[in-house]
Chains A and B, each alone.
Chain A
Amino acid sequence: MSSPSLLPMHNGRAVERGAVPRLSLEDFRTAAIEAPERGARIASLFGTGAATGGVELFLVLACDEDGRLEVGSTHLESDAYPAITPECPEAHLFEREIAEQWGIRPVGHPWLKPVRFVPPQRVGADPFGFGKGPPVVGVTDFYRVEGEEVHEVAVGPVHAGVIEPGHFRFQCFGEQVLHLEISLGYQHRGVERALVGGPTPRSIHYAETLAGDTTVGHAIAYCQLVEALSGCSVSARAHAIRGIALELERLANHTGDLGALAGDVGYLPTASYCGRLRGEFLNLSAEMCGSRFGRSLVRPGGVAFDIDPERAVRMRQRLDAAVRDTNDATQLLWSTASVQARFEDTGRVSADTAKSLGMVGPAARASGLSRDARRDHPTGIFRFAQIPVPVLSSGDVYARAQIRGLEIERSAVFIRETLRALPASAGIRAPVSALAPMRFCASLVEGWRGELCHVALTDESGRFQSYKVVDPSFHNWTGVAMALRDEQISDFPLCNKSFNLSYCGHDL
């Protein structure tokens, strides 16, 4: 069922900005609130400065079953509006972000706190009632549980491992975690702001470093936008090479995660083997483009490096060896009782919770939600090649680990087949012309963590007037907090690693 008020459109297609319906605030709210009932979910919800003054909000819904996106906007006349979150929880972080960036207060928001601790882009705005001074990172009104034997544990921003910074507050009763609050923003580099006015020579590098472990995914999301906005047609061969790179990224990260999960329950064989095997997949990316993270491979118009026949053979041989060893190493996990005892029933997130939070990626699929942008909103090679989407229902660490194991197998098959039959098109990189003025475009890519969503608006001269990035971590961080409820504080590393979310992808 489509919304009567929103514009249906497709992933990676540009429309004229005039075609995006400007709704009344009431209709806009209704469209967001009723989305879950219609089987739609919020892919992006953001503000931008309106030409006529004030702030314009944009809503991008993903209707997965119909393979369609729906968009609409509304113009806010005042500094406040009735919050969407109380009736549609998946909007909660988006509305906090709008408050922080634009100084707009969503009245009735149950959890109105800064997201990244940055000053609003509008002078004089004070959405959180901080008074005059700029926000100070980590200083906010943390949720507290009161009680005689209740204690609070604060961790971070600097953590014990080689890991990005973030602050975690646990409300504990003995070992039991009653509530975990996650406060981020330490990695904020101002990427979205810097993308405005582009494209510039730096733009693709911003995309590649939004989350360095998702270099290929974010680069494809960015390039899809640029290609749609400039009317550029990418060759089938380039699409295939992008697909191989995206799935290699998934293999490397999933393998690394399974190793790290094994390490977190003290099962060192798989931890050691997967630590090495992750590198084998990264080295396959380097075989393609010289960089273990796939840097400089994906470029607007296609890809910068071809795969010659000898290279394809070499890559297939190395892939087969690495996948064989990976399956060997991960089988140990599923057959070792001490591992299973720790994975099973730990960090459970129910399907209802996952759905109401708008979770995406392997974490959503482990909780019974069948969501995958490669299947639901296919672009590039995924219009022709379908990768089966595994779904489990237990929503625990075990399911999140098992999903990764299954996805490794499926992605490896895809890479092998694609390497065997690379489309023989003339070029790998088409020329890209200037972006069309006054356009709107949304681009979704299923990265290894889940759905990446980039949305761009161009101005009258074809520059980015607004550029919005949603990393899957943005949807899923609250899932980590929910997974910890009633668990032991000592299980935090395990639960956290089973999501392995990005700090920089969230903080931008």
Chain B
Amino acid sequence: MLKLLLTRARQGSRTSRFPAEAPVLPDRFRGPPLIDATKCADGCRACAEACPTQAIRFDERGPEVDLGRCLFCADCESVCPTGAITHSKEYRLAARSRDDLLFRNEMKPRAAALDAAMRRLFGRSLKLRQVSAGGCNGCEADVNVLSTIVFDLGRFGIQIVASPRHADGLLITGPVTANMKLALQKTYEAVPAPKIVIAVGACAISGGPYIGHPEAGNGADSVVPVDLYIPGCPPHPFTILDGLLRLLGKIDENGTALATK
């Protein structure tokens, strides 16, 4: 017992002060790719060709990155002959619509909160059932850590629960494989209405590395309606937490904590 108490004292208090304080991310953290089109050589498409998920597209307005497809892998940056691509340090990436993930060097408005009626229902207590539908265990792992003492999801009134019957919504990872489609549909139906769906990671948003595979679908919104998209491969835990708090209206556009009633 004494040993336990000593250990407890040594381990200390480790819960992050987010959102009151911004998280400290590693210097090599990769946010969305920023493409300086003025540096692009004429007709060069090296980045688009190197992109494993065809996330980069060129049109008359220049390059556009689909953050729903992006794996944040830097393959584009490493092939760019003119050094036009860098990665921003932005981690606040969640969006309410698929279109809001189309990125031209500037985030569209960050994810808006649920409407007042839904916020009244879920704002102080949101229970989510997680469904992995072909996820590689990367997104699952970084959802799981939200329940550790570092992130302490419970202090925001959010909890991952064991049954869809106990849940207010689903948090989906993976591209939705053919073999998981029915199970996902049934789990969705088992959640009492009104309910929300959150798609976490490139797979759940677009199919990710498996885009176009007949064995894997192209994301959750081909099966169920999605209310919040959180991009990344996998998204950083703070990216996921930021998205959840925005959805519940607990932080404002800049990330400042709002008092909840």
Q: Which residues of A contact B (CB under 8 A)?
A: 116-118, 137, 157-158, 160-165, 185-191, 193-194, 200-202, 204-206, 209-213, 215, 269, 272-273, 275-276, 278-279, 283, 286-293, 295-296, 304-305, 325, 328-329, 331-332, 335-336, 502-504, 507
Contact = CB atoms under 8 A, between A and B. Distances in A.
B177 A187 contact: yes
Interface of B: 3-4, 7-8, 10-11, 14, 25-26, 28-30, 49-53, 71-75, 78, 87, 129-145, 147-150, 160, 162-164, 174-175, 177-180, 183, 187, 208-210, 213-216, 233-234, 236
Given A202-B53, A287-B28, A118 B215 contact: yes
B134 A190 contact: no
B152 to A, nearest CB: 10
27 contacts: A160-B163, A161-B162, A162-B147, A165-B132, A165-B180, A186-B180, A187-B174, A188-B177, A188-B179, A189-B215, A190-B210, A201-B50, A202-B52, A205-B52, A205-B71, A209-B209, A209-B233, A212-B138, A215-B138, A269-B4, A287-B26, A288-B28, A291-B30, A296-B73, A325-B11, A331-B7, A504-B136
Given A290-B87, A502-B137, 18 more contacts: A116-B179, A157-B183, A165-B180, A185-B179, A187-B135, A188-B177, A189-B134, A189-B175, A189-B213, A206-B209, A211-B137, A213-B138, A269-B7, A279-B148, A287-B28, A290-B74, A331-B3, A507-B179
B29 to A, nearest CB: 5
Contact of A295 (B49, B73, B183, B187): B73
Contacts of B143: 162
Contacts of B134: 186-189, 504
A295 B87 CA distance: 15
Contacts of A292: 142, 234, 236
A335 B215 contact: no
A304 B3 contact: no
A191 B203 CA distance: 14
Contacts of A117: 179
Nearest to A267: B4
A205 B236 CA distance: 18
A273 B180 contact: no
Between B28, B78, B147, B149, the greatest number of chain A beta carbons within 10 A of the residue's beta carbon is seen for B28
A58 B246 CA distance: 53
Given A163-B132, A504-B134, A289 B7 contact: no
